[in-house]
């Protein structure tokens, strides 16, 4: 049997399993088993047992449930209300006024959540009713929330960067630091777009009649202090080299519990709900990672990644052409799978191609997260679209239409980091030196 036929059969088998509604983790395990059984002489049982245990027995992976738990705690706190109160007095003079609360609020929550959907849900539950009550245009209000919530995947601590780091054996701390500047670039693009849009649609932006003194603004902003200290404690300790991502995650959980207690939202029910939510999400991701690790090893035994890398080499594609093809591939794949599944499903096959083309795996991690962010606001399986649809009751196609400008801004950010890769690499290089 030719190598091309082998690749085609395994791909069809995977698509059949996913289309049949099988869990992603089981689909990955099934394809890996088929690859070893039919196209390799390796001992299936031994390979599966050692690979699944080895992928699960990882200290770096311990940061995953802790960061997820931190986000779950804050999701159930008064954080969104505090951020709206603290940010809004300072934004009324900007073109677009309170529309920027969505952007800055999502950026702040992304720095303690790591999840795009959680960011959309937390900020949306406060900003959507407030902006609607003040008669801000519905389309731009929804669009800013959908687009800005994707920052939860990029700004550290990012769950998907932990998954990528574990799957590709990259330093999670370096990946976290690499995501900071691209995240700020995205915030700047979003703010710039909303400001320009507002200048062309002045009549649609309601006047803010409340005038506050500097002292009153500072008084309201005090509600931001706890969350800023939490961000500094978690991200600052990693950047300063004081703590590993896992250590910082543990500190973050403790500080989140204290923050929730101080705000009066921590009780037995919210504690148990947050713990169970984090447990379910962590188990799902860990199970997918175990299946992906087994598929990676199985593909190694079949020789498919090496064959694909050689094939890509014979095409003579430039790195830019390869990245363009991968962008289309990931966005299409992201229309049907969630971001974490996209990453773990493709790394075993994609990484040899990337390394063959001389692309830095650290930079590629940020690249792939940006593309997955684009998929988060692309129907039919854009997770952010579902979250916002659930909060507003709007048709998902209307939500998707509102998010189109932000999809294009994410594409612009992708082009910027491709042309200027130093945006991604400069901070990790400084940390290493």
Res. 343 pLDDT band, cuts 50 70 90: confident
- pLDDT above 90 for 342: no
Asked if residue 1 is part of any domain, the answer here is no
DSSP three-state, residue 395? coil
Res. 366 pLDDT band, cuts 50 70 90: very high
- Mean pLDDT over residues 166-170, rounded? 84
**Residues of the chain with pLDDT > 90: what percent?**
14
Asked if residue 29 is part of any domain, the answer here is yes
Lowest mean pLDDT among 144-158, 248-262, 294-308: 294-308
Res. 405 pLDDT band, cuts 50 70 90: very high
pLDDT per residue as tens digits for the range 60-110: 677 778 888 887 887 788 776 777 777 777 777 788 888 888 898 888 888
For the chain, helix (H) and strand (E) counts, in that order, are: 23, 0
- Residue 380: the pLDDT is 62
- pLDDT above 80 for 143: yes
Asked if residue 13 is part of any domain, the answer here is no
- Residue 60: the pLDDT is 66
- Residue 293: the pLDDT is 77
- Mean pLDDT over residues 224-246, rounded? 81
Query: Under a CB-based contact definition with an 8 Å cutoff, are residues 178 and 235 in contact?
Result: no
- Residue 208: the pLDDT is 66
User: How far, CA to CA in Å, does 255 sit from each of 84, 106, 240, 410?
Assistant: 21, 20, 18, 32
- Residue 310: the pLDDT is 67
* Residue-range definition of the domain harbouring residue 48: 23-432
Res. 216 pLDDT band, cuts 50 70 90: confident
Asked if residue 3 is part of any domain, the answer here is no
Lowest mean pLDDT among 171-180, 274-283, 341-350: 341-350
- pLDDT above 60 for 1: no
- Mean pLDDT over residues 2-29, rounded? 77
- pLDDT above 80 for 326: yes
Is the pTM higher than 0.95? no
Asked if residue 5 is part of any domain, the answer here is no
- Residue 2: the pLDDT is 62
Asked if residue 402 is part of any domain, the answer here is yes
- Residue 178: the pLDDT is 92
- Mean pLDDT over residues 388-404, rounded? 83
Using CB atoms within 10 Å of the CB of residue 154, give its burial: 0 to 12 exposed, 13 to 18 middle, 19+ buried: buried
**Residues of the chain with pLDDT > 70: what percent?**
92
The residue ranking higher by pLDDT, 417 or 2, is 417
User: What is the rounded radius of gyration, in angstroms, for the C-alpha atoms of the chain?
Assistant: 22
- Residue 23: the pLDDT is 79
pLDDT per residue as tens digits for the range 296-317: 788 777 776 666 666 666 777 7
Give the Cα separation of 334 and 61 in Å (integer).
24
- Residue 313: the pLDDT is 64
Lowest mean pLDDT among 173-182, 197-206, 208-217, 288-297: 208-217
Res. 187 pLDDT band, cuts 50 70 90: very high
How many domains does the structure of the chain reveal?
A: 1
- pLDDT above 90 for 30: no
- Mean pLDDT over residues 217-221, rounded? 78
- pLDDT above 70 for 218: yes
Asked if residue 33 is part of any domain, the answer here is yes
Give the Cα separation of 234 and 229 in Å (integer).
9
358 C-beta neighbours (distance < 10 Å), count: 8
Lowest mean pLDDT among 155-159, 168-172, 227-231, 343-347: 343-347
- Residue 35: the pLDDT is 84
The residue ranking higher by pLDDT, 361 or 70, is 361
Q: Which tokens sit at 432?
A: 């290493």
The residue ranking higher by pLDDT, 189 or 429, is 189
- Residue 410: the pLDDT is 93
List all residues 6 or more positions away from 215 whose beta carbon is below 8 Å from its beta carbon: none
Query: Under a CB-based contact definition with an 8 Å cutoff, are residues 147 and 409 in contact?
Result: yes
Average pLDDT, the chain: 82
DSSP three-state, residue 350? helix
Q: Which tokens sit at 77?
A: 């706190």
Asked if residue 15 is part of any domain, the answer here is no
């Amino acid at each position: 049997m030719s190598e091309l036929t082998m690749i085609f059969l395994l791909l069809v088998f995977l698509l059949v399993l996913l289309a049949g509604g099988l869990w992603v983790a089981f689909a990955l395990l099934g394809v890996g088993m088929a690859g070893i059984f039919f196209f390799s002489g390796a001992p299936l049982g031994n390979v599966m047992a050692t690979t699944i245990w080895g992928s699960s027995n990882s200290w770096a992976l311990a940061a995953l449930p802790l960061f997820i738990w931190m986000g779950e705690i804050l999701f159930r706190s008064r954080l969104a209300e505090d951020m709206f109160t603290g940010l809004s007095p300072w934004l009324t003079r900007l073109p677009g006024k309170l529309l920027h609360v969505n952007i800055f609020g999502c950026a702040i929550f992304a720095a303690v959540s790591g999840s795009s959907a959680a960011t959309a849900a937390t900020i949306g539950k406060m900003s959507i009713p407030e902006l609607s009550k003040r008669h801000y245009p519905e389309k731009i209000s929804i669009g800013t929330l959908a687009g800005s919530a994707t920052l939860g995947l990029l700004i550290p601590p990012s769950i998907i960067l932990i998954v990528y780091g574990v799957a590709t054996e990259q330093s999670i701390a370096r990946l976290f630091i690499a995501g900071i500047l691209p995240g700020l670039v995205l915030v700047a693009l979003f703010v710039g777009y909303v400001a320009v849009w507002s200048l062309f649609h002045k009549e649609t932006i309601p006047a803010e009649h409340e005038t506050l003194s500097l002292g009153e603004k500072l008084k309201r902003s005090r509600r931001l202090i706890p969350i800023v200290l939490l961000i500094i404690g978690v991200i600052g300790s990693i950047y300063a080299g004081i703590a590993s991502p896992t250590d910082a995650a543990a500190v973050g959980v403790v500080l989140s519990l204290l923050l929730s207690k101080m705000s009066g939202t921590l009780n037995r029910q919210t504690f148990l709900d947050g713990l169970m939510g984090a447990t379910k999400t962590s188990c799902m991701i860990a199970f997918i990672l175990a299946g992906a690790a087994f598929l990676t090893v199985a593909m190694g035994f079949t020789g498919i990644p090496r064959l694909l890398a050689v094939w890509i080499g014979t095409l003579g594609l430039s790195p830019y052409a390869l990245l363009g093809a991968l962008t289309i591939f990931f966005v299409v794949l992201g229309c049907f799978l969630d971001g974490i599944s996209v990453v773990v499903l493709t790394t075993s096959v994609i990484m040899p191609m990337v390394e063959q083309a001389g692309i830095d795996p650290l930079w590629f991690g940020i690249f792939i997260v940006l593309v997955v962010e684009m998929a988060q606001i692309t129907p039919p399986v854009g997770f952010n679209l579902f979250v916002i649809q659930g909060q507003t009751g709007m048709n998902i196609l209307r939500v998707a239409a509102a998010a189109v400008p932000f999809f294009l801004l994410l594409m612009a950010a992708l082009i910027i980091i491709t042309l200027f890769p130093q945006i991604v690499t400069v901070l990790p290089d400084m940390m290493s030196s």
